[in-house]
Structure 1
Amino acid sequence: MPSTRKTTVLITGCTPGGIGHSLATEFHRRDCHVIATARNPDVLKELEAEGFSIAQLDVTDQASVDACKIETERLTGGKLDILVNNAGRPHVIPILDGEMDDIQKTYDANVFGPMRTVKVFIPLLIKARGLVANISSNSSQIPYLFGGIYSSTKGAIDVWSRALRLELEPFHVRVMVAMTGTVKSNFAGKTHRSLPENSLYMPVKDKFEWRLTYSQNHGTYDTDRYAKAFVDSALKGEGWFGGLIGGSPSWFWCGGMATTVWLLTLLPRVMMERILSVYWGMGKMKRQIEEAARKRVD
């Protein structure tokens, strides 16, 4: 009897310690053929020794994406069942303090990166009637203190994914957006930005520094727990009645505070923003900034 073809999965951004690495491990545990990628594939040697396929992939580099597609065709026989757009770049800084070159790099990784991979890998996905899974964030739905630049990249992914879902319907390719809450990973542990000396927010520098590691200290999900729930949803397949029943969800909410954020999205935006203003302590921050301004005048 011919052997059954394994479900093929390519995941961007699989550096150890992050969500992508846990997703790769969980898909592999479910007997999928996982292609784990990273800008530096040397960090994935342990996965390769365990039977994973590994490949170099920098989603900000068109030549790298093109080369990875060729390698994926070779590894899978031309079909890709699931593309997980996980690679990304954190960005915590007050919007007014953002440097444009830095902001553009974040958009290149978080927005244009997934756009590149989908455009290049779509022939393989169409052949498999596959799934595009985009890692977004709860922060795209709420005013996220000092996280507006990062949140806006995920908001762009949300809107793009909705249109992409419609445009791919004729080709039987589905789109799942992972509305990810706080999850334990090395993502927030990367090199932090500092407030510039002339920042208007210097009087609340302590609040900014508290915010840098917020995702790792507030309702934070275990990464493996998140990965299991994600893979459960991704592997449900097409379902019935055009995916209305039993298939992979269009929107996957999971992670710390995900339910809370989802409930907040049901409120009028003015009310939601007032609630978040209280939560972030904007009243106290305002008083601190005003007091600092008065001292400078005196």
Structure 2
Amino acid sequence: MTKDQKFALVTGCGRGGIGEGLVTEYKRRGIHPIATVLPNEASDHLSEAGITFFPLDVTVEKSVVDLKAAVQKLTGGRLDVLVNCAGIAYTMPAIDTDVVAVQKMFDINLFGPMRMVHHFHGMLIQAKGTIVNIGSIGGVIPFIYGSSYNASKAALHHWGNTLRAEMAPLGVKVLTVISGEVSTNILKSDSHRKLPEGSYYSALAESFQQHVVRTPKGATDRFDYASHVVAESLKASPTPWFWYGSNSFVIRLIDMFCWRSVWDTMMWNMFGLGRLAKAHSAIMKKIV
């Protein structure tokens, strides 16, 4: 390694995800990418691409500490970019939430980035580097069935806001990516979800099942997404919130210039909530 070599560490680089696209793009730009995968996750896609990788579970303190030691040895104690990309989804109406499952999601989506920054901040300060948090339009709009996931991303956005202000005096930049729909496999691990028996949302059970196994139409290609995110992360002064991906531009405009309640009408129509209202009204009339 030359003294001028830069390093980018990206969490959550399983096959078919955003992380894989990001490390591929960093390598293309001459940055030495360091990928992480879960300890029991396939890594052949990374070894075949000649990308350095290490096992990591962001929910386990020791796993993060072990990764830090490995990265320090590789980079000489500095890190130019940290991308907090590891994440999972949780799809369910808010009133039917399994809190234990959501706690696990928060441990990955929110507390994982917190652990990474806690342990790697010294290396980032040494390099005057950049922290990139992969957020979502879900953290901005009330996407139906995504209340818990939306909450994890909204928390990440606003934690990143304060982190950005606090790291500025230390020479470290913080970039929050507000991602639109990107073509990845994140929904696969959530495709088994079913409404619980007796749910108030039972009238929409069929459309809910279609939703959890959907392939988002018009989703942005993950490698296209990666090229734009990486380019922004390497700027001397990246924008605080970088919006990119399918529908992100329109959502940004609506969020800036419209009443919050505009989303209620849009979600009502998009998810057929009128059918739920009619079904619920009919049930209540029978009870009375």
User: TM-score, normalization: structure 2?
Assistant: 0.93
> Which amino acid in structure 1 is aligned with residue 154 of structure 2?
G
- The equivalent of 2:197 in structure 1 is 197
- Provide the rounded CA distance (Å) in 1 between the counterparts of 2:269 and 2:204: 16
Deviation at 1:217, TM superposition (A): 2.0
- What are the equivalent positions in structure 2 for 1:48-67 lying under 5 Å apart? 48-67=47-66
Give the ranges of 4+ consecutive aligned residues of structure 1 lying more than 6 Å apart after TM superposition.
none
Deviation at 1:153, TM superposition (A): 0.3
- The equivalent of 2:98 in structure 1 is 99
The answer for unaligned runs of 5 or more in structure 1 is 239-246
The answer to whether the Cα contact below 8 Å between 1:181 and 1:258 also exists between their aligned partners in 2 is yes
The answer to whether the Cα contact below 8 Å between 2:90 and 2:148 also exists between their aligned partners in 1 is yes
- Equivalent pairs, count: 286
The answer to whether the Cα contact below 8 Å between 2:59 and 2:108 also exists between their aligned partners in 1 is yes
- Provide the rounded CA distance (Å) in 2 between the counterparts of 1:223 and 1:211: 21
> Which amino acid in structure 2 is aligned with residue 288 of structure 1?
A
Deviation at 1:49, TM superposition (A): 4.1
Deviation at 1:288, TM superposition (A): 3.1
- What are the equivalent positions in structure 2 for 1:71-82 lying under 5 Å apart? 71-82=70-81
- Provide the rounded CA distance (Å) in 2 between the counterparts of 1:41 and 1:35: 18
The answer to whether the Cα contact below 8 Å between 1:91 and 1:149 also exists between their aligned partners in 2 is yes
Indicate whether 1:258 and 2:248 are aligned. Answer: yes
| 190-199 vs 221-230, which moves further | 190-199
The answer to whether the Cα contact below 8 Å between 1:142 and 1:273 also exists between their aligned partners in 2 is no
- The equivalent of 1:207 in structure 2 is 207
The answer for unaligned runs of 5 or more in structure 2 is none
| 32-41 vs 63-72, which moves further | 32-41
- Provide the rounded CA distance (Å) in 2 between the counterparts of 1:175 and 1:194: 37
- The equivalent of 2:10 in structure 1 is 11
- What are the equivalent positions in structure 2 for 1:30-45 lying under 5 Å apart? 30-40=29-39, 43-45=42-44
The answer to whether the Cα contact below 8 Å between 1:204 and 1:289 also exists between their aligned partners in 2 is no
- The equivalent of 1:131 in structure 2 is 130
- Provide the rounded CA distance (Å) in 2 between the counterparts of 1:91 and 1:191: 6
The answer to whether the Cα contact below 8 Å between 1:12 and 1:85 also exists between their aligned partners in 2 is yes
> Which amino acid in structure 1 is aligned with residue 181 of structure 2?
T
> Which amino acid in structure 2 is aligned with residue 265 of structure 1?
D
- What are the equivalent positions in structure 2 for 1:118-197 lying under 5 Å apart? 118-192=117-191, 193-197=193-197
Seen in structure 2, the aligned counterparts of structure 1 residues 70 and 204 have a Cα distance that, compared at 3 Å, is same
SS at match of 2:176: strand
Deviation at 1:273, TM superposition (A): 2.8
SS at match of 2:57: coil
The answer to whether the Cα contact below 8 Å between 1:18 and 1:187 also exists between their aligned partners in 2 is yes
Output the aligned Cα RMSD. 1.9
User: TM-score, normalization: structure 1?
Assistant: 0.90
Deviation at 1:176, TM superposition (A): 0.4
Indicate whether 1:290 and 2:288 are aligned. Answer: no
> Which amino acid in structure 2 is aligned with residue 97 of structure 1?
D
- The sequence identity of aligned pairs, in percent, is 34
> Which amino acid in structure 1 is aligned with residue 146 of structure 2?
G
> Which amino acid in structure 2 is aligned with residue 286 of structure 1?
A
- Provide the rounded CA distance (Å) in 2 between the counterparts of 1:87 and 1:60: 10
